[in-house]
Structure 1
Amino acid sequence: MILKSFELNKIKLNNHKFYLFYGENEGLKEETIKNLFEKSYQDKIHRYEEKEIIDNINNFFNSVLTKSFFDNEKLIIINRATDKIRTIIEDLIEKNPEDIQVVLNSKNLEKKSTLRKLFEKEKSILCIPFYEDNNQTLNSIISLFFRNKKIPISQQLINVLIERSRGDRKNLNNELEKVENFLLNKKNLNIEEIIKLTNLADNYSASELVDHSLAKNTRKTVTILSENNYSDEDNIIIIRTLLAKLKRLVKIYELVDEKNNIEQAISVCRPPIFWKDKPLVTQQIKSWNKNLLKDLIYKTNEIELLVKKNSLLAKNILADFIINNSKKTNN
């Protein structure tokens, strides 16, 4: 049965076990899955890639259909689903397993797609297309972001961000994350800064560079630095991205002390960490202890001052700092 994305709030989700989300709006799909499904299941979420299931169908069915005292209800999320998985889903629907919900996340599916046809024709399973956000929706998201930050913003600046997002709120959220990191200790933003921020790094973002450095992936860190020509503005964004991610790691460490489990700590961290980023964040936590992270926050603040005072040497100063912290040491 076909349903519009905004209609999901009007139905009882527990009345349906199988959902197909398709379309290019990854940001809206991720928000919907997180807000309407993941919150109800917490640590009972099982994530799969389509290829992983196809390569080992028996393991998939055993995992989905097997019940345990601790893992009765389950949310199954299958990413990058295509027509290749249709027969497997048909078998699963026929088995009618209890206490599970299955969400298939697909890219854009054409009308002739057999997977899409299956979900559109059957009344008991739901097919929801996720179309590109329109400018009005993106405008509202941006306005709310800056209103919460109590920072004035012009329509011209909003239009630049909308253009950069290319109709997808996931792209927009990535751009707003750059802005948020850049706005540390700042109370205003101009159009020139927005243009520079949203053009950061053709091949690799500041976030990716920082993530691999903190995970102590030295080779990948060096590759990213060597393949990009970061500007002076990029250097500041990298530093502030590093500060934001360091503070997040300290927060996760405090949750680890409380939960005594890294995966649970990462799962309950707020703002939420996307599923695809969790392995890298886990690697980061295992690469540092809390005292060293706090010390690195202090050193990063010092590096920001040094970079600002030495513009000619800024790139080298920052690159050396990033690479040195990506090297494996005994913590």
Structure 2
Amino acid sequence: MTALKGRDIERFLEKPDISSGFVLVYGPDLGLVGENAGRLVRQFAGNPPDPESFTTLHMSEIDADPQRLGILARSPSLFGGGTTIRVRGATNKLAPVLAELLDEKAEAIIIVEGGDLKPSDALRKAAEARRDARALPCYADNGQTLDALIRDTFAKAQINLEADLVGFLRDMLGNDRQVTRQELEKLVLFAGNGGTLTRQDVIALCGDNAALATDSVVDAIASGHARKFDESITRVTSAGTDIQRLLIVTQQHFSRLRTMRAEIDAGSSTDHVVGRATPRIHFSRKASVEQQLRLWNDDGLAAACNRLSTAIADSRKTGPLAAAIGRQAMLAVCLAAARR
């Protein structure tokens, strides 16, 4: 079997143990798939890749001209050595073509990028069964791998980080490798080699300001802070956020609180429920959400959800009054929280 796992993947990326054949890089994290395929291209074709011995094809090009991959794989490099071919967006239709080329012992390394393949998919079965092939799964970053990526990126640029910034940044970034890389590169460029990064720098550069502003409205409502609610909703609506959108987000938040409240009532601790919530609760909001869960019981959350759902329906029926209806409903829920 040649399905690589864990540390074997990193070792292979640093020092591949085959010089010809095919490598399948696949998985749900397409950003990581592309990154690892790119690392393999540099290993086999040089950095930058030698244009005389390296070609990139998309599966659509192979579909349009089925002979093209075979011609490239069978054509020796002008300056000797093997040929490297990168195939992007591969489908299972590529499997028999690859099998034919490998059986002929073509002097080429074919790096194939696939999606989230099942064990029964032809491409994955071929890569895992053949001795001249390797299968490299690429799954979304978890907390440990994301922490390591963040630390390694900033260490290479000798950037100093404010205390606890790695955890804060991990919670702010998602688990898509391509997006993570883009955000980290942006921060490195901002700080410069040997520079310093603070939490405020991260929020300013990586935070979704619209989302953060909406969260401030929702948290003010659920926490019963009428003044913060008034300030936040004025700022958000002035920036062009639609009141119905705010109502929907608020109703969804209260529905989520109700689900978490049920887990707590069943015996789970508040910090455990908040810590494993999916999607993840932003680091900066955890304390507020924990407070909200202590304030509200299930009956209160059910009433708030009903009030907000009614406001959503009413605002859709009466367009000119939508802003007033929405603001009144959200304020009513906010005051209900304040009385708790």
TM-score after normalising by structure 2: 0.52
Which of 59, 72, 79 in structure 2 is aligned with 1:50?
59
Change (3 A) 1:166 1:200: closer
TM-superposed deviation, 1:191:
1.8
Matched, 1:22 2:26: yes
Change (3 A) 1:143 1:59: closer
Which of 178, 184, 191 in structure 1 is aligned with 2:186?
178
CA separation in 2, counterparts of 1:128 and 1:200? Answer: 33
Matched, 1:83 2:92: yes
Which of 171, 188, 202 in structure 1 is aligned with 2:196?
188
Q: Deviations over 1:74-128 (max 9, x none)?
A: 1111111121322222222233212x11111112112332221222233432222
Which of 130, 143, 147 in structure 2 is aligned with 1:122?
130
Q: Deviations over 1:133-187 (max 9, x none)?
A: 2212221222233334444324543234323432233322111111122225994
Which of 107, 122, 136 in structure 1 is aligned with 2:115?
107
User: Which amino acid in the other structure matches residue 56 of structure 1?
Assistant: D
Give the secondary-structure state (helix, strand or coil) at the position aligned to 1:2. coil
Which residue is equivalent to 1:70?
Answer: 79
User: Which amino acid in the other structure matches residue 105 of structure 1?
Assistant: E
CA contact (8 A) 1:160 1:195 kept: no
Change (3 A) 1:183 1:77: same
Change (3 A) 1:185 1:74: closer
CA separation in 2, counterparts of 1:110 and 1:155? Answer: 41
Q: Report 1:132-281 matches (<5 A).
A: 132-154=140-162, 156-184=164-192, 187-199=195-207
Change (3 A) 1:184 1:124: closer
Q: Give the stretch that moved more between structures: 145-154 or 75-84.
A: 145-154
CA contact (8 A) 2:3 2:128 kept: yes
Root-mean-square deviation (CA, aligned residues, Å) is 3.0
TM-score after normalising by structure 1: 0.53
CA contact (8 A) 1:4 1:128 kept: yes
Change (3 A) 1:5 1:200: same
Q: Deviations over 1:38-95 (max 9, x none)?
A: 2342302211111111111123322221225335411111111121322222222233
Change (3 A) 1:187 1:41: closer
Change (3 A) 1:129 1:149: closer
User: Which amino acid in the other structure matches residue 122 of structure 1?
Assistant: R
CA separation in 1, counterparts of 2:76 and 2:209? Answer: 47
Q: Which has the larger radius of gyration?
A: 2
Give the paired residue count.
202
Displaced runs of 4 or more, over 6 A: none
Which residue is equivalent to 1:7?
Answer: 8
Give the secondary-structure state (helix, strand or coil) at the position aligned to 2:56. strand
Unpaired stretches in structure 2, ≥5 consecutive residues: 211-238, 240-340
